[in-house]
Amino acid sequence: MEKHLMLVGGGHAHMMTMENIDRFVKKGFKVTVIGPSFFHYYSGMGPGMLGGTYTPDDIRFATKDVVEKQGGIFVKDKVVKIDPEKNRVYTQGGQTFSYDVLSFNAGSYVPMHAAPEGCNNIYSVKPIEKLMEAADKLKVLFAKKKIVVTIVGGGPSSAEVAGNVWQLAKKINAFMPDIYIFAGKKMMARFPENVRSKVISSLKKRGIKILETGYVKQIKTDEILLESGKSFPTDFIFMALGVKPSTIFEKSGLPVGPDKGLLVNKHLQSVKYQNIFGGGDCIYFKDQPLDKVGVYAVRENPVLLHNLMASLEGRKLEIFDPGPEYLLIFNVGGGLGVFKKKQLVFGGKIAFMIKDYIDRKFMKKFQAIEKTL
């Protein structure tokens, strides 16, 4: 009976494996990819898409087509639980699958428990499809009147969303909104002061207000209430309270890290189940906790590709090396960026141009797979 490789999610860490599905198929292995959408959107370009720099087509991969054209099976569904003892996967749609080797690139989510349910003016910054929906809605609102847009959270995604909301309003030449970032006690607290100051300065120069006076206590559809008792009216809210790994692993009784991500060893392999692997935001790398940034997912690609094939064939696994300090560039809207690599930090148009070049090159590389199959 043929062995079955199952990939949960078609994100950055699975790109090379999906590019090589035909290799697995030619060796007699069955390959199934389960994902919530026919496309995978590149999160690094999400804020730029919100601001109108990119179209949705510019920032997405045709996951279903890539899988099926190589002889794999694509299932549009969401994995909610697995039974690692029986090698079974259970989906939201009620489907059950068996596997021999399983790999997760299930991504992360933004906690929304602080927001009231069922509100049509409150959006999380992930998944990227939510930013697409928000952009369409904001265009309509900006054309009608001056509104207040608030972003709850003090990390890089708050800065990027705020700057690109400003850009979107400028681009359509409509009413400029008042934009507020509720950053808790300190905006971008985990970054060096020279990075923080450049991001904050760029946003403030465009009239974006950053509140660092305390945490949000309650979120209503039309009001933000701080722990201090002070309240602010709002028309549109983005939730950017940081990301958490998929809840699949804890629900399934798999070993997890402090952040509840799948706990993996130096082979990107579950510390308990040798036929389960993972990469990207959904894992916790036991040897060295990694930031939730796409660069690590990209670096994990070749190791996951090798180790998934090796696991199916009973060969030796490769070790993942996280590599040197990564390049970090924030897209703060208005064609501006903030660049950081080791001790080199600068802001402005050149920073954004470098990010744009790198991101477009990355997209072209993997979008080319669609055209060559």
Same domain? For 133 and 173 the reply is yes
Same domain? For 11 and 82 the reply is yes
Same domain? For 102 and 213 the reply is no
pLDDT above 90: residue 47: yes
Lowest mean pLDDT among 116-125, 305-314, 351-360: 116-125
What's residue 373's pLDDT? 65
Residue 304 pLDDT grade (very low, low, confident, very high; cuts 50, 70, 90): very high
**Higher-scoring residue by pLDDT: 112, 61:** 61
Instruction: Establish if 280 belongs to a structural domain.
Output: yes
pLDDT above 80: residue 111: no
Same domain? For 216 and 155 the reply is yes
HEC per residue, the chain? CCCEEEEECCCHHHHHHHHCHHHHHHCCCEEEEEECCCCEECHHHHHHHHCCCCCHHHHEECHHHHHHHCCCEEEECCEEEEECCCCEEEECCCCEEECCEEEECCCEECCCCCCCCCCCCEEECCCHHHHHHHHHHHHHHHHHCCCEEEEECCCHHHHHHHHHHHHHHHHCCCCCCEEEEECECCCCCCCCHHHHHHHHHHHHHCCCEEECCECEEEEECCEEEECCCCEEECCEEEECCCCEECCHHHHCCCCECCCCCEEECCCCEECCCCCEEECHHHEEECCCCCCCCHHHHHHHHHHHHHHHHHHHHCCCCCCCCCCCCCCEEEECCCCCEEEEECCEEEEEHHHHHHHHHHHHHHHHHHHHHHHHC
pLDDT above 90: residue 230: yes
Instruction: Establish if 372 belongs to a structural domain.
Output: no
Find the CATH number of the domain harbouring 237. Answer: 3.50.50.60
Instruction: Give the CA dihedral 79, 320, 40, 77, nearest 10 degrees.
Output: -10
User: Can you tell me the mean pLDDT for 113-119?
Assistant: 70
pLDDT above 90: residue 294: no
Residue 365 pLDDT grade (very low, low, confident, very high; cuts 50, 70, 90): confident
Given 190, 211, 242, the domain boundary residue is 242
pLDDT above 90: residue 168: yes
What's residue 35's pLDDT? 93
Instruction: Establish if 289 belongs to a structural domain.
Output: yes
Given 208, 242, 276, the domain boundary residue is 242
What's residue 113's pLDDT? 63
Same domain? For 317 and 295 the reply is yes
What's residue 174's pLDDT? 83
pLDDT in tens, 133-148: 999 999 999 999 999 9
Domain count, the chain: 2
| Contact indicator for 74, 63 with CB cutoff of 8 Å | yes
What's residue 127's pLDDT? 83
pLDDT above 70: residue 109: no
Residue 202 pLDDT grade (very low, low, confident, very high; cuts 50, 70, 90): very high
Q: What are phi and psi of 343, to 5 degrees?
A: -90, -5
pTM: 0.91
pLDDT in tens, 76-92: 999 999 999 999 999 99
Instruction: Establish if 175 belongs to a structural domain.
Output: yes
pLDDT in tens, 235-285: 999 999 877 778 899 999 999 999 999 999 999 999 999 999 999 989 999
Nearest to residue 101, comparing CAs of 260, 301, 313?
313
Same domain? For 92 and 82 the reply is yes
What's residue 112's pLDDT? 64
Residue 324 pLDDT grade (very low, low, confident, very high; cuts 50, 70, 90): confident
Same domain? For 223 and 154 the reply is yes
Instruction: Establish if 340 belongs to a structural domain.
Output: no
Instruction: Establish if 13 belongs to a structural domain.
Output: yes
Nearest to residue 176, comparing CAs of 151, 147, 199?
147
pLDDT above 90: residue 354: yes
Same domain? For 102 and 247 the reply is yes
What's residue 311's pLDDT? 97
User: Can you tell me the mean pLDDT for 180-195?
Assistant: 94
Same domain? For 142 and 225 the reply is yes
What's residue 292's pLDDT? 83
Same domain? For 225 and 142 the reply is yes
What's residue 19's pLDDT? 92
Given 189, 219, 242, the domain boundary residue is 242
Same domain? For 226 and 255 the reply is no
Residue 114 pLDDT grade (very low, low, confident, very high; cuts 50, 70, 90): low
Same domain? For 136 and 238 the reply is yes
Q: Determine the structural domain holding residue 127 and report its residue range.
A: 122-242
User: Can you tell me the mean pLDDT for 292-317?
Assistant: 94
Instruction: Establish if 345 belongs to a structural domain.
Output: no
User: Can you tell me the mean pLDDT for 116-126?
Assistant: 82
Instruction: Establish if 72 belongs to a structural domain.
Output: no
